[in-house]
Amino acid sequence: MIIDELHIESLAYGGAGLGRHEGRVVFVPFTAPGDRVRCRIIREKKRYAEGVAEQILVPSAERRQACCPVFGQCGGCQWQHLSYSGQGSWKETIFSSLLNKQAGIDPAVMRPLACAPDEWTYRSRAQVKIRQAQNRLVMGFYRPGSHYVANTESCPILHPLLNRTWSLFRQRLIECPDAAKIPQLDLETDDTGQVRAVLHYIGNQSEPIKEFFGTMSAVANLSLFLQSGRKDTLTKLFGRENLTIEVDDPPLKLQYGAGGFAQVNLEQNRALVREVASLFPSGSRWRVLDLFCGMGNFSLPVARRAEKVIGVENFAPAIDQARRNAEANGLTNVEFHARPAEGAATALWPENGFDMVMLDPPRSGAYEVIRELARLKPARILYISCDPPTLARDLVPLLHSGYQLGWSRPYDLFPQTHHTESVTLLSRQDF
């Protein structure tokens, strides 16, 4: 079905433009509010349809020329065709609207979006997909909604050091033995200029691979790991074990190993930490539980301001690293536990009676943890989220259990994409 002219009215969560045809919503990716497009419908549902723009009849004033040659083919970015100010405005609107509709949150408590200082070259981590076919090497990211790789030489949102390392591996992988068994290259960099690469290898002849890439050890500030399955199969080939990031003021130096986690936008992560740290009044005697704590990104800055902090993380190597980070930074009022977040608050509550619980869960959210906290009723809950829909879902049981949302702020950690990080503070209404 072809719609000869569709007016794009707004942007929807997920990044697509939204128009209406004969009373039904139509979602069209890579369009801008104000566009008039010729649209081909590719999928029809009862209440909406999905289409592709075959032609931009009248371009929106919000449009700009995307700088990436594979924009629209690669699934990494959705909004390179929008001005950065336009992206920020729509992220604020979508975030506020979603929390209002799904959780009944008053838009008046929404704080302004914290924009990124640089809309390009901000990503400190990436997973580059690799395919070998008919003596041709394909490297890039998956196309939208598929496992086909959009081939590209570099990425404009990656840190320059990662693009340089990507180019180096592209040259070497062409000659690599058993290269068809290398489906992915993970790249990371830190605040010191160190680069870590992890080659995923699904073959059974790892020694030739190790020997082949061993010649790259002379490259400055590069460490290389091989991974043949889950994270516990990671093997260092050469280079440093850890990467280092800095947070807080004066700076805390936090290290994390291969398989560990750090935010992709290091500058915006520092802004997040500043926001969290600002919540603690001078001379605070609060006892804090930090769930999904990783290597101590929030736990350790908060430990400078609280009486005691307990961090919980299910990935044991991250907990080991958090303990080393605490020791290296001279923080003695913090302890860490390697265990699932579910049940941790209940188990630790009798001896601690936390004044605040912080949580920074994965994209799937933390619904079972939230139900647990609704029973325990800590005075304050600070929720750091990377997924607005699961945040809205998780807020509902708290709002029905005597909590009031003080404020929520979206953070743009991912320019050129629809993704939004956020910080939300809730307090017991009787507190």
- H helices of 187-305, in order, are 206-214, 266-277, 299-303
pLDDT digits (tens, 9 = 90+) for 144-183: 989 999 999 999 999 999 999 999 999 999 888 888 899 9
Per the CB < 8 A criterion, the answer to whether 7 and 18 are in contact is no
β-pairing, 421-428 vs 380-385, is: antiparallel
What does the pLDDT read at residue 11? 98
Rounded Cα distance between 304 and 60, Å, is 49
Q: Catalytic residue among 68, 155, 293, 386, which?
A: 386
pTM over 0.85: yes
pLDDT of residue 367: 97
Cβ atoms of 150 and 84 closer than 8 Å: no
What is the pLDDT, as a whole number, of residue 163? 98
Counting as low any pLDDT under 70, the low residues of the chain are 431
Query: pLDDT value at position 218?
Result: 72
- HSE-up of 305 (CA within 13 Å, CB side)? 18
Catalytic-residue membership of 386: yes
Cβ atoms 26, 3 nearer than 8 A: yes
Give the residue among 3, 54, 5, 49 at the shortest CA–CA distance from 30.
54
Question: What per-residue confidence (pLDDT) applies to 224?
Answer: 95
**Cβ-Cβ contacts under 8 Å for 32 (sequence gap 6 or more):** 8, 11, 17, 59, 60, 62, 63, 81, 82, 86
CA nearest 224: which of 154, 176, 270? 176
pLDDT at 431: 67
